[in-house]
Structure 1
Amino acid sequence: MEKLFQRWYDLISIDSVSGHEVGAADYVAEVLRSMGLEPHYSYFPEDTDRQRPSVWTVLDSGKPGKTMLLIGHIDTVDVNLKNWKTNPFMPTEIDGKVYGRGSMDMKGGDAAILSTVEYFAQHKDEFSGKILVCFVADEEGLSKGTYQLVDEDVVHADYAIMAECRYNNVAVGFRGRFSFEITVKGKAGHASRYPEVGENALISAGRLAAAIEALPTLSHPKLHHGTWCVRYLAGGNSGALVVPDSCYMFVDRYVVPGEDEAMCIRQMQEAAEKLGLADKVDIHLKPRNSPYMKSFAVPEDHELVVKLQESFKEVTGEDLPIDYDPSVCDSNILAVSCGIPVVTFGPSGGNMHGDNEYGYPYQVKNCYEIYKQTIKKLLSA
């Protein structure tokens, strides 16, 4: 089997469900050592058992120049074995599709990165500057792996390719996302005396939830507009005849450039005031150990975008459309926290995060060739 595909198969065979990425990390580290490169392990503070490392290395051409970052995640979502028609940790090719957990998201991209680095390790005369390679943990969680590399001052580059699974277009922009917690207060009382006695926090929260989802958002010519989603409401006691005096609300807010957490909180507070609930609500950003991801957009005529499109055309004979994603990924961190122009492009497939996930071998092969050509164009010797 061709080495590129063997690495893809090897990675699929390793159970690296988010929470225990160490097997995949050790594998990529060993492959990097076989190329004569020194792998470095990075652990985020919560990983006290050292089961969730990210791995990174640098290939230096020995000549001055710019730096290209190639990055992918090594964790996957979990599996429900009873719903799979194949063993999710035994890559199986059926009708031109390779089935297995991570076959699409995103071990094909990881394999393409490894083979790209190997090529340039053997052909240092074909590029100048450096290639920084990162394989990160926890992307399917809170992106702690990438944030830790940023905290360790590892991530510095002039360009970045996020090898995530999107092959039919290249994403140059993503929305951002914030999560908010709201507590709505009411007044307890015996349910038999309601509504003359007591103030139902559930009803107040419901009114506020509807008002929040109707709030306006800013627009972006490519990312369209932000969105509000009240994802969770909880309160009351089904076992006691008591008017609910408190209700908890969880709100997701996807944002476009120009929208931030302060603006969102202000909007929700104004909505509460209009409903006469200003003194009955507490609104705050949901605490988390890693920063929230903010929105970004790389100019469509940026040389990274143009050269990747040119390389795609050369390899496939087809045009590569530009796209903008309504969600978030580690590309947000690179663009916003590190200021690195980043494109998101890699081998894809089907049933991402679902049962019977699969990837396409031809896309893994093509991405390897496209990454090589793009680096040659941008880091010309």
Structure 2
Amino acid sequence: MRDEMLELTRQMVRIPSVNTTPGEKEIGLFIEKYMREIPYFKEHPDQVIVQELKNDALGRRNVFALLRGEKDENADTVLFHGHMDTVGVEDYGVLAEYAFDPDELARKLAAVELPDEVRRDLESGEYLFGRGACDMKSGDAVFMVLMRHIAEHVKEFSGNILLSINPVEENLHTGIIEGVEILEQIRKQYGLTYVLAINNDYTCPMYPGDPHHYIYSGVVGKLLPCFYIRGQETHVGQCFEGYDPTTVAANLVSVINLNTEFCDGYEGEYSLPPVALKMKDLKGWYNVQTAKEALVY
């Protein structure tokens, strides 16, 4: 199965599903096709459910697939949850054009200057490079291949698995927000009891050389405070006659950003502190007038 998962990961990485681009629709079509080609789902085509996002100009869609064990009547259901979109490739610099080709990217990386740690990883052959390989198309591939193999033994399987793969995870989470409606619909239609959700996104080492692999038994919610500051513009030569919104934004960041006093704690575990994800004034171009507006997320 490992080789099958790796090959499926390569295929999905080759689809450039950067958030807010048409590739998000294409990866959804690919996942749907893969699931519908599994013999079990050819026999149960209504158990592959596609939900197009509302009023979405890109035609993005959630893809669900319900595998029902046939060993006995068991309502217990495990949710396999993942996302199909990626962030952009600007950070790849001159190698950006190869970001969606894992094999070619590895060859190109071998020819450029790399930190020693990255060079060792590259030469080890134990890593798959490419945008989305880690976050989280390899995780999706594991789920999809598991579904294929479990479906081959569905008569021996007790319980149910519901696969849910969503777009728009990397910014507004529209996919899973709208997908809750379908999760509830499927639950009622088939009389399911959701007992566990597994999200197979990437995990990180805690320190260089950390040999441990981590499983997180729970999730942290996302709170995104957004500050819009309205100032009073003025000419730079009369700077004290206005009200500078960028100063307010900068002070907000100074107080909030990376401040561990804002971390939540529970039984000895703590959330990460707030981090500034976007900060800018709203001037359209440079001139000698101070900014009228600013924002920070």
Q: TM-score range by the shorter chain?
A: 0.5 to 0.7
Give the corresponding residue for 1:213: 256
Which of 218, 223, 231 aligns to 2:270? It is: 223
Give the corresponding residue for 1:46: 55
Q: How much has 1:26 moved relative to structure 2?
A: 2.2
The equivalences for 1:263-282 within 5 A come to none
Which of 32, 35, 52 aligns to 1:32? It is: 35
Give the corresponding residue for 1:330: none
TM-score computed with the length of structure 2 as normaliser: 0.68
Which of 159, 171, 195 aligns to 1:129? It is: 159
Decide which moves more: 227-236 or 23-32: 227-236
- Is 1:22 aligned with 2:25? yes
Give the corresponding residue for 1:150: 180
Q: Which amino acid aligns with 1:164?
A: D
Q: Does the aligned pair in 1 maintain the 2:50–2:63 contact within 8 Å? A: yes
Which residues of structure 1 form unaligned runs of 5+? 253-381
Question: For the residues of structure 2 that align with 1:230 and 1:184, how far apart are their CA atoms?
Answer: 20
Question: For the residues of structure 1 that align with 2:96 and 2:196, how far apart are their CA atoms?
Answer: 40
Question: For the residues of structure 2 that align with 1:71 and 1:190, how far apart are their CA atoms?
Answer: 53
- Is 1:110 aligned with 2:135? no
Q: Does the aligned pair in 1 maintain the 2:246–2:281 contact within 8 Å? A: no
Question: For the residues of structure 1 that align with 2:215 and 2:49, how far apart are their CA atoms?
Answer: 29
- Is 1:58 aligned with 2:66? yes
Q: Which amino acid aligns with 1:58?
A: L
Q: Does the aligned pair in 1 maintain the 2:87–2:170 contact within 8 Å? A: yes
Distance 1:59 1:245, change over 3 A: closer
Alpha-carbon displacement from aligned partner over 1:177-232 (angstroms, at most 9, x marks no partner):
2122232444x66765664xx34334862685377439853541312564364952
Give the corresponding residue for 1:336: none
Q: How much has 1:98 moved relative to structure 2?
A: 2.2
Q: Which amino acid aligns with 2:202?
A: C
Question: For the residues of structure 2 that align with 1:155 and 1:166, how far apart are their CA atoms?
Answer: 30
Q: Does the aligned pair in 2 maintain the 1:218–1:225 contact within 8 Å? A: yes
Distance 1:89 1:185, change over 3 A: closer
The equivalences for 1:360-379 within 5 A come to none
Give the corresponding residue for 1:76: 86
Q: Does the aligned pair in 1 maintain the 2:77–2:160 contact within 8 Å? A: yes
Give the corresponding residue for 2:9: 8
Which of 64, 78, 90 aligns to 2:101? It is: 90
Question: For the residues of structure 1 that align with 2:152 and 2:196, how far apart are their CA atoms?
Answer: 22
Distance 1:85 1:68, change over 3 A: same
Which of 207, 224, 229 aligns to 1:178? It is: 224
Q: Does the aligned pair in 1 maintain the 2:228–2:294 contact within 8 Å? A: yes
Greater per-residue helix proportion: 2
Alpha-carbon displacement from aligned partner over 1:246-277 (angstroms, at most 9, x marks no partner):
44232x4xxxxxxxxxxxxxxxxxxxxxxxxx
How many residue pairs match? The answer is 245
Question: For the residues of structure 2 that align with 1:203 and 1:110, how far apart are their CA atoms?
Answer: 41
Give the corresponding residue for 1:294: none
Q: Does the aligned pair in 1 maintain the 2:25–2:58 contact within 8 Å? A: no
Q: Does the aligned pair in 1 maintain the 2:78–2:196 contact within 8 Å? A: yes
Q: How much has 1:159 moved relative to structure 2?
A: 0.7
Alpha-carbon displacement from aligned partner over 1:119-149 (angstroms, at most 9, x marks no partner):
2211124432211001211112312111121
Question: For the residues of structure 2 that align with 1:49 and 1:233, how far apart are their CA atoms?
Answer: 27
Question: For the residues of structure 2 that align with 1:86 and 1:199, how far apart are their CA atoms?
Answer: 46
C-alpha RMSD of matched pairs (Å): 3.5
Q: How much has 1:102 moved relative to structure 2?
A: 2.0
- SS of the equivalent of 1:100 reads coil
Q: How much has 1:100 moved relative to structure 2?
A: 2.4
Question: For the residues of structure 1 that align with 2:164 and 2:5, how far apart are their CA atoms?
Answer: 18
Distance 1:191 1:132, change over 3 A: closer
Distance 1:59 1:246, change over 3 A: same
Alpha-carbon displacement from aligned partner over 1:21-63 (angstroms, at most 9, x marks no partner):
233222222221222213221111232352x222111011142
Q: Does the aligned pair in 1 maintain the 2:75–2:159 contact within 8 Å? A: yes
Distance 1:154 1:9, change over 3 A: farther
Aligned-residue sequence identity (percent) comes to: 18
Question: For the residues of structure 1 that align with 2:221 and 2:67, how far apart are their CA atoms?
Answer: 32
Distance 1:142 1:154, change over 3 A: farther
Q: Does the aligned pair in 1 maintain the 2:230–2:294 contact within 8 Å? A: yes
Alpha-carbon displacement from aligned partner over 1:269-298 (angstroms, at most 9, x marks no partner):
xxxxxxxxxxxxxxxxxxxxxxxxxxxxxx
Q: Does the aligned pair in 1 maintain the 2:229–2:245 contact within 8 Å? A: no
Question: For the residues of structure 2 that align with 1:210 and 1:228, how far apart are their CA atoms?
Answer: 9
Larger RCO: Structure 1 or Structure 2 (Cα < 8 Å, ≥ 6 residues apart)? 1
